Structure 1
């Protein structure tokens, strides 16, 4: 992937808004506008001018803080990663993973909200900076969700040393593979099966470090 070099796709800058105050409000307005524009028009139709108009933020301010379309996409992902993600705590790893995969399924296929995250991830894959932000987004989500595996270790349900991030990756990867690689249909039973497989593998110790041979 390579970044476009048109004026709208200049080298992105890292926004540094102050916590609270006008700067935070401006960022929230720009992120909201970016999500709306990318949902409606995709990466190719996304322009800084349209985001500026929709958000009410002057285009010069937008370019100064975000640098163009790729910076807008990257910051929308960063803002999404910062949102809290309430995790299930059912007392059973398999059920926790099922609820996580069902949430992913719902987010990406729901008629009311599925188009926006799909459009944002598809757009992020079109530029280097977007792809970097996307990796950061998934890394943050995996770290957060790994808590369900850590609880399972504490309960004695999983072997000590189980890599919780790998457990979450195993549970969710089949969903993302269908959504963004093969385009195959994704349904609730597929999401549940992915969770079950990950839970079985975790309990079997497949996500613990492999001892190194001497």
Structure 2
């Protein structure tokens, strides 16, 4: 939630892994750039490893050996995007931090290039388990990177200390992704501001605090 990507942050590998160096790194960069270009121009189902190899200027055997399939290319692109993401905002207030998060999502999804890439990636995740797992990992990484905004807010007295940071952040970005991926409505700054306002109100009401377990005989 969060571009989350090359727009104002940029994308690269599973967190905690060592990036390859030298020619291997250059080949990976060329292939992933070609993959992003292809997704920006067309849908996932048109992604062809042979064409990606030609566009990247590398051998077809290299692409098939390392990435295996269109799903493998998309999965590695998502890992790349997660790696290259910029750190979360620190504006000095919870409202400012959540607004920065919402604005980042909005910029990403409304950008002609990156919006098309995310549409293709979401479509890929809907029909391929590997892509779905990697998309889930991408967003978990992004949420974790933004989670400190809740701890800082709690320290300032803006949030209950037991607020679930990930649920708070999901509440900000979920309405935007719903409009983008499900109802396919135009996204505006007003939508982002509304999501932030709603998330702040819900947090103040304790909606993201852990619920006590129900006792015996309690429905």
Q: Shorter-normalised TM-score: what interval?
A: 0.7 to 0.9
- Contact 1:18–1:24 (CA under 8 A) maintained in structure 2: yes
- Contact 1:73–1:124 (CA under 8 A) maintained in structure 2: no
- Helix, strand or coil at the partner of 1:114: helix
CA–CA separation in structure 2 for the residues paired with 1:179 and 1:173:
10
Query: Which range moved further: 131-140 or 104-113?
Result: 104-113
TM normalised by structure 1 equals 0.87
| Correspondences of 1:41-120 after superposition (within 5 Å) | 41-111=42-112, 113-120=114-121
Per chain length, whose mean CA-contact separation is higher, i.e. which structure has more relative contact order (CA < 8 Å, sep 6+)? Answer: 2
- Helix, strand or coil at the partner of 1:80: helix
Quote the offset at 1:113 in angstroms. 4.0
Question: 1:61-119 CA distances to partner (integer Å, 9 max, x unpaired)?
Answer: 11111111110011111111111323221221112111211111111112454333333
TM normalised by structure 2 equals 0.85
CA–CA separation in structure 1 for the residues paired with 2:203 and 2:50:
48
What is the aligned partner in structure 2 of residue 174 from structure 1? 175
Unpaired segments of 5 or more residues in structure 2? Answer: 1-13
- Contact 1:162–1:205 (CA under 8 A) maintained in structure 2: yes
Quote the offset at 1:30 in angstroms. 1.0
Unpaired segments of 5 or more residues in structure 1? Answer: 1-13
- Contact 1:142–1:165 (CA under 8 A) maintained in structure 2: yes
- Helix, strand or coil at the partner of 1:125: helix
